Amino acid sequence: MYKGGETDNLAAYQQLTKLNRLFLEKYPFMGSAIKSGFAAFGRTWADEFEELLTVMFPSEKELAAAADGYVRFALDVTRRQSRFDDDGCYPQKSFDKVAQEVYLNDNYMQSHYLPGLLLSHLLWPHHYRQSRFFIATFLRDMETMGARSFIDAGVGTGFLSRLTLQAIPEITGIGFDISPSSKKFSEHQVASFNMSHRYEVRVLDLCSTATKVESDWLISAEVLEHLEDPMLFLYKLRGILCSGGKGFITAAINAAEIDHIHLYRHPGEVKEQLQQAGFTVEQYQSIPAYKPRKADAPPPEVVAFIVT
Ligand SMILES: C[S@@+](CC[C@H](N)C(=O)[O-])C[C@H]1O[C@@H](n2cnc3c(N)ncnc32)[C@H](O)[C@@H]1O
């Protein structure tokens, strides 16, 4: 595996070079994603990405399947966002319908959604910037304050759980997710990094079931916009976070995706809901995906809050 810190040349990163080639040959319209990621974020990004690809998708076949899943996922997002630009709203859908179509559809989760989401953490600049914010703020606090355990609510791919387990050698974590496929995928990610003895995922609908667990450290990334009633979920999160504990809670704004139900039009709406649920906002960062293309079509944005 590439150990990092040796060169500024993309060719030194074997898996990244293969992914770049796959994009160029099979999906030319994706052509510049790797090169522009490297140009924008340099070796730190390339080291992280190379490690992820080497550990999660070591064979040609696995890498090709992940690339294919990512491209289908990204194209679907692009189509939905363009419809959103015209309509100004998300299509009306019930949570149950989304759960059947997405979270409980193992084939779709494993082939499109989870590899797509995982690679988006590195390939979408606003997602990558958000994970850097997580590392520089929340994860640093966890390290300096001697965190021993954490909860990740709506674990999805397990990306942030895995970063946390990697950064703090003794820490243990529990993830929750309604999707058995997310459990399988995130536990696989953590096991591939040899940390499964410190982590488990429980399958649970966090809106309708009590968790009976609490933690001083809580992560919940990109779940609020997936719900019919985000306030209900936030009250549950408030109940999970011990008094004096700290949470990292994010949401997507103006971002049309297959499973986005609740439309947040401004980061301030999320902030208000967090405060209403009893959280105090310590700091936040909001990152747009791109510059507005039209005056009346706001770009997708991710906003992350550090709360107590
Ligand atoms: C966009 S993904 C989360 C991304 C993830 N945090 C990451 O960093 O990769 C949303 C996840 O929330 C889960 N989810 C949605 N509604 C839920 C609920 N009511 N209870 C538990 N999990 C839920 C979905 O199954 C999905 O895995």
Nearest to 165 by CA among 185, 184, 187, 183: 187
What is the position in ligand 1's atom list of the atom closest to the CA of 152? 6
CATH 3.40.50.150 residue window(s) in the chain? 125-307
Residue 20 has pLDDT above 70, yes or no: yes
Residue 274 has pLDDT above 80, yes or no: yes
Distance 78 CA to ligand 1 centre (A): 20
pLDDT band at 1; cut points 50, 70, 90 = very low
Q: Is 182 in the pocket of ligand 1 (CB under 6 A)?
A: yes
b/e string for 169-207 if b means 16 or more Cβ within 10 A?
A: eebebbbbbbbebbbbbbbebbebbebeebbebebbebb
- Tell me the CA–centroid distance for residue 261 and ligand 1, in Å: 13
Whether domain 125-307 has CATH 3.40.50.150: yes
Q: Report residue 194 as tokens.
A: 């040899």
Among protein residues, the one whose CA lies closest to atom 3 of ligand 1? 156
Confidence of residue 295 (pLDDT cuts 50, 70, 90): confident
Centroid of ligand 1 to alpha carbon of 4 (angstroms): 31
Mean pLDDT for the stretch of residues 23-29 = 90
Flag whether pLDDT at 31 surpasses 80.
no
Q: Is 103 in the pocket of ligand 1 (CB under 6 A)?
A: yes
Q: How far is CA 218 from the centre of its chain?
A: 15
Residue with more model confidence, 297 or 306: 306
Confidence of residue 292 (pLDDT cuts 50, 70, 90): confident
Question: Which of 100, 103, 152 gets mutated to test ligand 1 (max ligand atoms within 8 A of its CB)?
Answer: 103
The CB of 226 under 6 Å from ligand 1? The reply is yes
> What pLDDT, on a 0 to 100 scale, did the predictor assign at position 8?
67
pLDDT in tens, 170-229: 999 999 999 999 999 999 999 999 999 999 999 999 998 888 899 999 999 999 999 999
Report the separation in Å between the CA atom of 158 and the middle of ligand 1, taken as the mean of its atom positions: 10
Tokens of 177: 């997710």
Q: Supply the pLDDT for residue 279.
A: 98
Give CA–CA dist 274/308, Å, rounded. Answer: 10
Say whether pLDDT at 270 is over 60.
yes
Mean of the pLDDT values across residues 46-53?
98
Task: Please indicate whether residue 157, judged by its CB atom, sits closer than 6 Å to ligand 1.
Answer: yes
pLDDT tops 80 at residue 2: no
CA-nearest residue for atom 27, ligand 1, is: 156
Q: What mean pLDDT comes out for the span 290-299?
A: 83
Q: Quick one: pLDDT at residue 161?
A: 98
* CA dist., res. 264 & res. 251, Å (int): 8
Over residues 251-263, the mean pLDDT reads 97
pLDDT digits (tens, 9 = 90+) for 55-91: 999 999 999 999 999 999 999 999 999 999 999 999 9
- With a cut of 70, say whether residue 282 has pLDDT above it: yes
Q: Which mutation among 93, 155, 174, 223 tests ligand 1's pocket best, with the greatest number of atoms within 8 A of CB?
A: 223
Q: How far is the CA of 262 from the centre of ligand 1 (A)?
A: 14
Residue environment code for 65-97, b if the CB has 16+ CB neighbours within 10 A, otherwise e:
ebbbbbbbbbebbeebbeebbeeeebeeeebee
pLDDT beyond 90 at 296: no
Task: Quote the percentage of the chain above a pLDDT of 70.
Answer: 97
pTM over 0.85: yes
Which pLDDT band, with edges at 50, 70 and 90, does 297 fall under?
Answer: confident
Phi, psi of 291 (to 5 degrees): -70, 145
